[in-house]
């Protein structure tokens, strides 16, 4: 996408986007811009409404913002306009930013427009959105210089679009090798180092818990390490993302809902997207990220309930349920990251439990940490952009839920309650008492509804949240 600031629409021909704050529906004063008048009886700026007028060789789209706006609402409004009004957009669009818009609101609007180009029909012969054309130019009218905010909005959207694709593409396309190849190419493009361990190397260094999960799959597990190292980095952040590219449940096979299990690598996709965005924005922080990627499939080699397996940390694990597999790959990722890279702060993201969905629904992710300063910073970052978090307890009273009589720890409590908490306690056991670790259970927010399709699809939750958190350090 090309962008250009203009001062007037006098010679402009194309589509004009005119955001409007909500006015009194009973007002006799019409909304007017560029010689076009709209009666408040038909349009008064109500949130999520719009009104089209063709005049002066232009299509004017008046966009309702509502009375009170925030980052998420602006982004959603512009995303919907771009998606639903695809047929009226040509090669040239002008966006008239309200004088009241701040930099982050400009960023949200531009980001939303680009996200609205997303097409879930990857394997359909659909016509590409006009915005997706490399010759497309977004012209804009604004008070002051806002180019930096526009460019940032574009980069955020590009990273989130990549995350959409990673999660929404089918599992016969996105396997562990696909994620490793994506990371390698992104590293070359955006400037971060990538190392990938296959089965042989993972076995050699002792990633036994990770390897156990992938034993039933024909696709070789990939342990992906990414390292963004800017000069004079201020701090060092570590990320781990759960990369189960498809989850059958293993021998404890799922009885329902398996069709959506391609999304069980949404934590990995969020980490991959965050690595792209952090490096694209050239943030002055070192970020080391690990994505343990594998499939939880079924064959004669699959790991079994009641198995006792080893881990990179040296702790033995009793397998109670093979469908509690995500935590098994995460613990080797966490242990390897902490031991070999010593980041000051560690955050993992995973579609880990259905329990967190039962607790929090689909509006926010579960946050687990014993570091209240870290909790506050993560929640503030999420609130600013509409990717909310809610802290849940990590008390030692729950530790007994994962006690095992035969091994150091068991991978599943077997209880119908507090599943998200016991899963977090399991992860905590492998963090070696790290003073600044947080676990984000994103099972309820990684896959959701939108204007793109009738079925659920990727939300890219976590990409911007993690980047915002790092920016604010």
DSSP for 196-222, please give it: EE-HHHHHHHT-HHHHHHGGG-SSPPE
Percent of the chain with pLDDT over 70: 98
Q: How confident is the model at residue 6 (pLDDT cuts 50, 70, 90)?
A: very high
Range 288-317 average pLDDT:
98
Please check the confidence at residue 69 and state whether its pLDDT lies above 90.
Answer: yes
User: What pLDDT digit, counting tens, does each position of 199-257 carry?
Assistant: 999 999 999 999 999 999 999 999 999 999 999 999 999 999 999 999 999 999 999 88
Q: What is the pLDDT of residue 311?
A: 99
Which of 84-98, 190-204, 408-422 has the least mean pLDDT? 84-98
Phi, psi dihedral angles at 187 (to 5 degrees)? -60, -40
What is the C-alpha separation between 79 and 392, in angstroms, rounded?
32
Give the confidence band of 364 by pLDDT, cuts at 50, 70, 90. Answer: very high
User: How far is residue 455 from each of residues 123, 167, 260, 458, measured CA to CA in Å?
Assistant: 16, 14, 10, 10
At residue 372, does pLDDT exceed 90?
yes
The closest of 25, 22, 79 to 47, measured between CA atoms, is 22
Residue 27 is predicted with a pLDDT of 65
Ramachandran bin of 103, using left for φ above 0, alpha for ψ from -120 to 50, beta for the remaining angles? alpha
Please spell the DSSP secondary structure of 37-70, one letter per residue: EE-TTT----TT-EEEEEETTEEEEEEEEESS--
Distance, CA of 471 to CA of 284 (rounded, Å)? 9
pLDDT bin (cut points 50, 70, 90) of residue 366 is very high
What was the pLDDT predicted at 196?
Answer: 99
Token pair 């009885």 is found at: 255
- Angle formed at CA 444 by CA 439 and CA 446, multiple of 5 degrees: 80
pLDDT (0 to 100) of residue 427: 99
β-pair partners for 202: none
| Dist. CA 455–CA 181, nearest whole Å | 28
Q: Are 458 and 263 in contact (CB under 8 A)?
A: yes
Whether the CB-CB separation of 439 and 243 falls below 8 Å is answered with no
- CA–chain centroid gap for 377, Å, is 18
Are the CB atoms for 238 and 431 separated by under 8 Å?
no
Rounded to two decimals, what is the model's pTM?
A: 0.96
Beta bridge partners of 410: 318
pLDDT in tens, 260-297: 899 999 999 999 999 999 999 999 999 999 999 999 99
Confidence label for 371 from pLDDT (cuts 50, 70 and 90) = very high
Could you tell me whether strands 14-21 and 58-66 are parallel, antiparallel, or unpaired per DSSP bridges? parallel
Q: What is the mean pLDDT of the chain?
A: 95
Q: What is the pLDDT of residues 81-99, one digit of tens each?
A: 998 888 888 778 999 999 9
Give residue-wise pLDDT tens across range 111-129. Answer: 999 999 998 887 887 777 8
CB proximity list for 229: less than 8 A, separation 6 or greater: 192, 193, 286
Using alpha carbons, select from 297, 271, 291, 314 the residue that is nearest to residue 212.
Answer: 297
- Average pLDDT of 18-35? 80
> Which domains, and CATH codes, for the chain?
2-141 (3.40.220.10), 156-471 (3.40.630.10)
Which pLDDT value is given to residue 74?
Answer: 97
Q: Any idea which of 131-135, 394-398, 410-414, 455-459 has the lowest mean pLDDT?
A: 131-135
- Give yes or no for a contact between 334 and 398, defined as CB atoms under 8 angstroms apart: no
Q: What pLDDT score was predicted for residue 25? A: 64
For residue 453, is pLDDT > 90?
A: no
Write down the H helix ranges in 85-223: 103-115, 147-168, 176-190, 199-205, 208-213
Q: Is the pLDDT of residue 341 over 70?
A: yes
* Catalytic center residues: 254, 327
């Amino acid at each position: 996408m090309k962008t250009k600031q203009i001062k007037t629409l006098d010679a402009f021909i194309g589509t004009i986007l005119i955001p409007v704050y909500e006015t009194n529906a009973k007002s006799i004063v019409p909304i007017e811009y560029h010689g076009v008048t709209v009666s408040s009886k038909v349009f008064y700026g109500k949130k999520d409404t719009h009104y089209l007028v063709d005049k002066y060789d232009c299509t004017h789209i008046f966009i309702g913002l509502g009375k009170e706006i925030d980052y998420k609402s602006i982004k959603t409004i512009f995303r919907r306009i771009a998606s639903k009004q695809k047929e009226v957009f040509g090669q040239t669009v002008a966006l008239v930013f309200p004088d009241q818009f701040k930099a982050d609101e400009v960023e949200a609007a531009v980001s939303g427009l680009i996200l609205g180009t997303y097409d879930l029909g990857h394997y359909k012969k659909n016509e590409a959105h006009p915005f997706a054309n490399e010759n497309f130019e977004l012209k804009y009218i604004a008070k002051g210089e806002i180019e930096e905010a526009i460019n940032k909005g574009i980069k955020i959207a590009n990273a989130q679009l990549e995350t959409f694709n990673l999660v929404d593409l089918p599992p016969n396309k996105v396997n562990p090798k696909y994620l490793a190849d994506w990371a390698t190419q992104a590293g070359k493009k955006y400037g971060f180092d990538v190392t990938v361990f296959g089965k042989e190397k993972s076995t050699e260094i002792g990633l036994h818990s990770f390897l156990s999960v992938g034993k039933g799959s024909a696709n070789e597990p990939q342990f992906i390490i990414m390292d963004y190292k800017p000069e004079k980095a201020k701090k060092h952040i570590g990320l781990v993302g759960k990369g189960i590219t498809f989850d059958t449940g293993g021998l404890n096979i799922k009885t329902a809902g398996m069709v959506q299990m391609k999304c069980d690598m949404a934590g990995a996709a969020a980490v991959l997207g965050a690595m792209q965005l952090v490096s694209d924005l050239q943030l002055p922080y070192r970020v080391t990220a690990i994505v343990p990627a594998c499939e939880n499939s079924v064959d004669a080699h699959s790991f079994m309930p009641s198995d006792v397996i080893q881990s990179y940390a040296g702790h033995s694990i009793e397998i109670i349920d093979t469908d509690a597999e995500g935590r098994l790959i995460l613990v080797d990722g966490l242990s390897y990251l902490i031991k070999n890279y010593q980041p000051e702060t560690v955050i993992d993201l995973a579609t880990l439990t259905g329990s967190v969905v039962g607790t929090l629904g689909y509006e926010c992710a579960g946050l687990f940490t014993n570091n209240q300063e870290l909790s506050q910073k993560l929640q503030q970052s999420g609130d600013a952009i509409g990717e909310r978090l809610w802290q849940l307890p990590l008390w030692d009273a729950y530790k007994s839920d994962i006690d095992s009589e035969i091994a150091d720890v068991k991978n599943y409590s077997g209880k119908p309650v507090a599943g998200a908490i016991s899963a977090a306690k399991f992860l905590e056991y492998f963090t070696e008492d790290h003073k600044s670790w947080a676990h984000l259970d994103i099972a309820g927010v990684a896959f959701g509804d939108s204007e793109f399709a009738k079925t659920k699809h990727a939300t890219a939750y976590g990409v911007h949240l993690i980047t915002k958190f790092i920016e604010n350090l």
